[in-house]
């Protein structure tokens, strides 16, 4: 499990347009890295739209917003188009970053246990160090909660 103060695990994944994006591309900027279960589901849509609606606030803090799920590039492209998402969505079907960040965990839903992405947000500083880890994220409040932490 990762902790605040740890070096953020590096990754290179494909974005919604098929471009390769690496965490190291954003050295010198803060990175708001959020992991979410699935495109176009109720909670994930609320979370993404919260980041969209507050996007100019993140720019004020020189922060890049990156969302990662195991959905396909095509799914991300459609999700971003449908909801006018201005930030980066990365596809991680092989669970490379998802497992490196420890967010692939056992989940219980309606009495059934399965493995899945646990909604988690990381704030990474300009030097690539994890400044904050938000577990058990409330989808509809995630963007505002992150802005509050960036203001500190």
Which are the catalytic amino acids? 44
Q: Could you tell me the end-to-end alpha-carbon distance of the chain, in angstroms, rounded to an integer?
A: 25
Distance of CA 31 to the CA centre of its chain: 9
Backbone φ and ψ of 90, nearest 5°:
-115, 140
* Short-list 45, 7, 51, 33, CA closest to 144: 51
């Amino acid at each position: 499990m990762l902790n605040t103060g740890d070096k953020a695990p590096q990754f290179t994944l494909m974005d919604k347009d098929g471009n390769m994006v690496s965490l190291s591309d954003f050295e010198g900027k803060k990175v708001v890295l959020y992991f979410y279960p699935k495109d176009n589901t109720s909670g994930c849509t609320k979370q993404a739209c919260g980041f969209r609606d507050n996007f100019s606030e993140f720019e004020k803090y020189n922060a890049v917003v990156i969302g990662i799920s195991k959905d396909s590039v095509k799914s991300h492209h459609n999700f971003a188009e449908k909801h006018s998402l201005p930030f980066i969505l990365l596809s991680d079907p092989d669970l490379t970053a998802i497992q490196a960040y420890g967010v692939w965990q056992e989940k219980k839903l309606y009495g059934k246990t399965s493995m899945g992405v646990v909604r988690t947000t990381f704030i990474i500083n300009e030097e690539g160090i994890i400044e904050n880890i938000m577990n058990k994220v409330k989808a509809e409040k995630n963007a505002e909660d992150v802005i509050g932490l960036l203001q500190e």
